[in-house]
Amino acid sequence: MSLINGYKKFRKGVLISLVLVEIVLSAFIYLESTAYFGVYDIIEISITFALIFYVFMLSNDLEDYENKEIKEGYIAKISPTMLIYINREGSLEILNGSYSSLGMPTNMNAKSFKALFSLKEWEKIENIVTKSTSKKQKTSGFISFLDNTGQLKYLYYVAQVAKRYKLDGLLVWLFDVSETKSQELNLTQLFHKYRVMSYELDLLINSLPIPTWKRGIDGKIIFCNQAYKDLIQKMGYNDSSGNIPEFNNFFYEELTKDDSEEISIKKVFIIDNQPVILRINEIKVSGEGSIGYCNFINEVEQLEKKVIALNNTLESLLKVDANALLIINNLGNVAFYNQAFITLFNLEQNSISSNLSFSSLIDKMREKGKLPEVKNYKEFKWQQMKYITEQTESEFFFMYLPDGKTLKVSVIPVQGGDTVFRYENIIEQLAMGRVYNEHINVLKTLVASYDYAAAILGHNGRLLICNDKFIKLFDFVDSPEEMHFMDMMLAQEKAFQSVDSYQNYKNALTSALDQRSNISIALQFQDKQKIEAKIEPLPDNSIMIKYINIV
């Protein structure tokens, strides 16, 4: 502006000089005036027109110079960021900064510049141009676009009518706020996530059946769940905030002590007209008060006793189980074994500790020669270890030991990550099975040789053996073997002459199965046959029924 002021002073000097010349010349002409239009008159007129033209030209030059000086000097110097000037014809002119500094296209014109704005934002700018008043000549807002690198760019703009600076057009300042805007968006997203998590946490805590609360550093309750509200209401406190004055004072004093990290007290309350012992626990949270919860000691102690009793019962049952049992906990260590396991694998009692790993136990079993002889022991051991790390469903496999035993090994994963191994010596079972089959074959031969109807009911209540005479007597279409005795009696009902005779037979057979005693009963059939039914228990807990004709 100093240049403008100097130029104004120069213009003022020139004008004063010209006016003085004009005055002097006019006075001289007046003194020398004649009736004729002389040369001095011509000179005076010429100087006057020259003076007027010169002043007019100087005014235009000064206005152009002022515009240029304002745009390129004063305004540009005071602009802290990019400044764009848009004149009435729509031409763009950068007064400060560059397009590239803001990631904008370098060939920007008025049309492409306008395209950066939303319709709403550009309408705000047009309003200050067309409807500007002395109080409303400026507006501001945000624009966004993809820069030359494809990154989203945010600019804050301030648009102002240029009349204030004696310019005919619009000045637009642009500020790069991309980093701030990104942080704002991130904070908005984080706040939204926080709101969702806070809502879910609130639902979770309120669904807990255990009374839970948060105490502030002043000792007052600032949050509590529904279980806590229900509890204090039953205790006779109606404060919706959940504050119990005597508790607030007590816990505030305790929690302010430097050496107290957790406080636990027992206190008797009257709840629903019944004395109840509550264990109240509060855990100190550094600088934020405490978190508390409580439980009913009566219920907890009863549950603890039940759990201990169940564990003792289970342990007793497992110890007397005839099969070898081994339990590996979720850490991969031995948690339980019974005497049958020690005997089967010829191990010393003191060689298995509670912290012995399953891997080490497998090695001990191998040392005793109680594992299958395999070519690749490392692979065999790896497969055994997989049962405690990857098994999710019950499974069994067979182990053939060097001493001739065949073991059926059942692997049972249980809740909590423990794994139960059950080892059965199936050679003994197979031997017993062969003896039993031989016994059944003898009975079949015996029953088939009878000249009267006969049948054997097994200990499970099913028809085990019958001869052809039995099938003919009761008119069975197919062999009734494996039929349950209740179904067998229903099929036999049609053969009896009367309901009473059938009912007596049914009662006798049921009683014989229940009491394992000898029973003899006379039966009357539809075809006038008189039959004596003899029911005799056998050593294997089955019963034989003989149907002998009475002559």
Q: What confidence score (pLDDT) does residue 77 get?
A: 53
Residue 201 falls inside a structural domain: no
CA 194 remoteness from chain centre: 14
Residue 183 falls inside a structural domain: no
Residue 232 falls inside a structural domain: yes
Could you tell me where the beta strands, DSSP code E, fall in 437-509?
453-457, 463-466
Residue 193 falls inside a structural domain: no
Q: Which of 157, 176, 195 is the last residue of a domain?
A: 176
Question: Domain check: are 334 and 355 in the same one?
Answer: yes
Question: Domain check: are 21 and 60 in the same one?
Answer: yes
Q: What confidence score (pLDDT) does residue 454 get?
A: 92
Domain that holds residue 57: 2-73
In contact, 296 and 280? CB cutoff 8 Å: no
Question: Domain check: are 66 and 91 in the same one?
Answer: no
Q: What confidence score (pLDDT) does residue 464 get?
A: 86
**Number of domains forming the structure of the chain:** 5
Q: What confidence score (pLDDT) does residue 537 get?
A: 85
Question: Domain check: are 40 and 85 in the same one?
Answer: no
Question: End-to-end alpha-carbon separation of the chain, Å?
Answer: 150
pLDDT digit of tens for each residue in the chain (551 aa)?
Answer: 444 445 455 555 665 666 666 566 565 555 555 544 455 556 656 666 565 555 555 444 444 444 454 444 445 555 566 777 777 666 777 666 666 667 777 677 777 777 888 888 888 877 777 765 666 678 888 888 787 777 788 888 888 777 655 566 778 888 887 777 778 778 888 888 888 888 888 888 888 888 888 888 777 888 888 888 888 778 777 766 667 765 666 666 666 665 667 777 777 777 777 777 778 888 887 777 788 888 777 655 666 666 666 666 566 555 555 688 888 888 888 888 888 888 888 888 777 776 788 988 989 888 888 888 878 888 888 988 888 888 888 888 888 787 777 788 889 888 778 889 989 887 666 666 676 777 788 888 888 888 899 999 887 778 888 998 998 888 888 778 888 888 888 888 888 888 888 888 888 888 887 777 788 888 888 877 888 888 888 777 788 899 988 86
Residue 109 falls inside a structural domain: yes
Rounding to the nearest 10 degrees, give the CA dihedral for residues 465, 469, 472, 473.
-100
At residue 134, the 3 state secondary structure works out as coil
Taking Cα atoms as reference points, which of 169, 137, 176, 158 lies closest to residue 70? 169
Question: Domain check: are 126 and 110 in the same one?
Answer: yes
Question: Domain check: are 94 and 67 in the same one?
Answer: no
* Cα torsion angle, 75, 76, 77, 83, sign: positive
At residue 420, the 3 state secondary structure works out as strand
At residue 513, the 3 state secondary structure works out as helix
Burial pattern 373-386, b for ≥16 Cβ within 10 A else e, equals: eeeeeeebbeebbe
User: Which pTM does this prediction carry?
Assistant: 0.32
Q: What is the CA radius of gyration of the chain?
A: 55
Q: What confidence score (pLDDT) does residue 398 get?
A: 84
Q: Which of 176, 197, 224 is the last residue of a domain?
A: 176
Question: Domain check: are 425 and 345 in the same one?
Answer: yes
Could you identify the residue written with the tokens 């007046």? 30
Question: Domain check: are 88 and 159 in the same one?
Answer: yes
Question: Domain check: are 57 and 87 in the same one?
Answer: no
Q: Which of 53, 73, 93 is the last residue of a domain?
A: 73
Count of Cβ atoms closer than 10 Å to residue 494 Cβ: 11
Q: What confidence score (pLDDT) does residue 66 get?
A: 45
395: Cβ contacts below 8 Å, ≥ 6 apart: 387, 410, 411
